[in-house]
Amino acid sequence: MHVSWKKWRRYFRHPAHLKKGRWGERTAERFLKKKGFCLIERNVRLGRFAEIDLIMKEADTLVFIEVKTRKNEQFGRPFHAISNAQQRRISYAATHYIKRKHLKPDYIRIDVLEVVGDRSFRKKPLIRHIPDAWKLPSGMRLWW
């Protein structure tokens, strides 16, 4: 028996944490666009474990953005959930993206956006923008 995708999709539900993450990324994107950022790509996978949530441009700076979404700050700020290993993976993904696309941006920056709230809440989420959250590790070199 063959079941069409439309019927199957009705039964397939995304986990709640993935829905919350997607909502946080859309909220972060809207926030940054209001600040004058221009979207280049979203959810870019580079390699097996490396992913960049948003790649945006601000003036002459190429900005790689990690979005951390939490319902509340009961267990600390979302930024503190980014481990050193995750920072290395994001940095690797950023340099790999630049090399793969043969880009020569004037400036490169890695930002973190904290989104605290839930889409079911009636009030606006708390959004914190942390520009230049960390530097590229010294061992990572760009191709130019």
> The pTM is what?
0.85
Tokens 């290993």 sit on residue: 85
- 139: three-class secondary structure by DSSP: coil
At 48 the pLDDT is 82
Yes or no: say if 107 and 63 are a contact pair by the CB < 8 Å rule.
Answer: no
**pLDDT 10s per residue in the chain (144 long)?**
555 655 555 555 667 777 788 989 999 999 999 999 999 999 999 888 889 999 999 999 999 999 999 999 999 999 999 999 999 999 999 999 999 999 999 999 999 999 999 877 778 899 999 999 998 876 666 655
* Cα radius of gyration (the chain): 17
What is the DSSP secondary-structure string of 40-85? EEEEEEETTTEEEEEEEEETTEEEEEEEEEES-STT--GGGG--HH
Q: What is the distance between the alpha carbons of residues 85 and 5, in angstroms, rounded to a whole number?
A: 38
Cα first-last separation, the chain: 56
